[in-house]
Structure 1
Amino acid sequence: MSSDAGQAKRPVSAALAGPYGHPYHPILVGVPIGAWIASLVFDVASRLVGSPTFLTRGAVWLIAVGVVGALVAAMAGLLDLLAIPTGTPAFRTGLVHMTLNLAVTVAFVANFFWRYASYGHAGAVGAGQLALTAVSLATLGVSGYLGGKLAFRYGVRVADEATQAEGFRHTAPHRRATSGRAHPAH
């Protein structure tokens, strides 16, 4: 394993980014992804029901939860990025991944304030707000693909192959000691 690849597997700060082989960033991204997907579901549902106010309000707060979650995930992700040697394909992929995630987060912040400005009004989510959410999620999907490339192709913050091999080592089958008596068949 090259020293660059080994460097990208080790955390800059285990306390903040997660210990070796257990990065926090992939765990934390579930919050914004889940909240923002749920907000899109609420958006679509608000256009299908007779009394959509609870759905439009719920979508606003799901977007807010997603933004807060994204900021926390971004801090851990930045630490993971700092572990990758500059000038490498992995680092360039990490920069694009980060840039797309920041753009998506900014779009959701704008979407939150756009919606919050009309928070007291009853009615379905506007077509523009719904479209902004859909485009933001599509962009997030591209970014997620790049995040997967970082982990699964380049092995960023993934345990090295020798450590991974421990999970595939065959052990001798456990044999029960017998007292010389035959055991009845089951």
Structure 2
Amino acid sequence: MHTHSVRPTHRTHPTHRAEPRRTAGPGPVLRAVERLEHSPRPDGLAAAVRRVVRAAPLGRARDVLHGVPLGHPAHPLLVQVPIGAWVSAAVLDLLPGEGRAARVLIGVGLGAAAPAALSGWTDWAELPPEQARVGLVHAASNVSALSLYGASLAARARGRPVAGRALAFAGLTCVGVGGALGGHLAYRQAAGANHAEAVPHTVGPGWHRLGPVSDLTEGRPVRATVDGVEVVVVREPDGAVRMLAERCAHMAGPLSQGEVADGCIRCPWHGSVFRLEDGWNVTGPATAPQPAFDTRVVDGRVEARLRRAPGT
């Protein structure tokens, strides 16, 4: 009897590593905007304009322009009227006819552009350099649009409807450029975003132990950490321990370096004032309140838990 060895009938193949997918990098437009972000050339002009905007005697209207009563920036809301009016005028300009309705819409857009621009400049004056540089070109595009729409109305009044329509379409092009830069500011650079929004999604439920209460000096803000999230802790004159998220909702400024007065803490970067008791934004430019924590003292040590909305 003969025995035969059985050999496997399948063949083994060398292991192949997957080639990384080659994707296109940023396009020329995005590269140009990124170069603008990092170019210091506009900084001198930005500083001069910022001084003028901050010196304007707006009083409490400044908070309204920031959007504090709304809980989010007012500028994106206000720009809807001029943009909507001008897009509607463009549609009417494509239709045959005398074009009176288009002229009315262009005028409405010009009138509504004033409060939108004022709110935009108010927000812009509190932005860091990278965002301020893009914001200047955003504003320049919109100023160009205003000039072109004004010239369009003048041309139509002089009986030159073709030139008036051409100027209006040029204005709409500038509005589009400005809108694209505004989108870059809002979504790429997070201008106007709530920079403390992630805190409720990061801090776990329940009580978290911190350091000894004896380490806290009355009225002096101290930076600490709760479940990996930075917080600012203040011991008030009555012995109450107050705690807020450390990074300001406006532009992530360090609140522990701010000033404490009258039961509030002031951000050292742009001056937003938050109530220590509950994190409410008393004054802007912050439009969102600061996440607040409940505190208690157990065996001489501070414990904290994130204060969540009822029902969450």
**TM norm structure 1:** 0.70
**Residues 92 and 21 (structure 1), Cα distance of their counterparts in 2 relative to 1, 3 Å cut:** farther
**Residues 114 and 169 (structure 1), Cα distance of their counterparts in 2 relative to 1, 3 Å cut:** farther
Give, in whole Å, the separation in 2 of the partners of 1:168 and 1:113.
56
Q: Secondary structure at the match of 2:191?
A: coil
Q: Which of these two proteins has the greater Rg computed from alpha carbons? A: 2
Segments of 4+ moved more than 6 angstroms: 167-171
Deviation at 1:148, TM superposition (A): 0.6
Q: 1:96 aligns with which of 125, 131, 137?
A: 137
Deviation at 1:135, TM superposition (A): 1.7
Q: Secondary structure at the match of 1:64?
A: helix
Q: 1:163 aligns with which of 177, 197, 203?
A: 197
Deviation at 1:128, TM superposition (A): 2.2
Give the corresponding residue for 1:182.
none
Deviation at 1:17, TM superposition (A): 2.0
* 1:39 maps to 2:89: yes
Which one-letter code corresponds to 2:114 in the other structure?
L
Aligned length: 144
Q: Deviations over 1:82-109 (max 9, x none)?
A: 1113xx2211000000111011011111
Specify which structure has the higher proportion of helix.
1
Q: Secondary structure at the match of 2:194?
A: coil
Give the corresponding residue for 1:137.
172
**TM norm structure 2:** 0.43
Give the corresponding residue for 1:79.
122
Deviation at 1:27, TM superposition (A): 0.3
Deviation at 1:151, TM superposition (A): 0.7
Which one-letter code corresponds to 2:170 in the other structure?
V
CA contact (8 A) 1:21 1:157 kept: no
Q: 2:63 aligns with which of 14, 39, 45?
A: 14
Specify which structure has the higher proportion of strand.
2
Which one-letter code corresponds to 1:143 in the other structure?
G
Q: Secondary structure at the match of 1:91?
A: helix
Give the unaligned 5+ runs of structure 1.
Answer: 1-11, 47-51, 119-124, 172-186
Give the unaligned 5+ runs of structure 2.
Answer: 1-60, 206-312
Give, in whole Å, the separation in 2 of the partners of 1:166 and 1:22.
18
Give the corresponding residue for 2:78.
28
Shifted more, 93-102 versus 130-139: the winner is 130-139
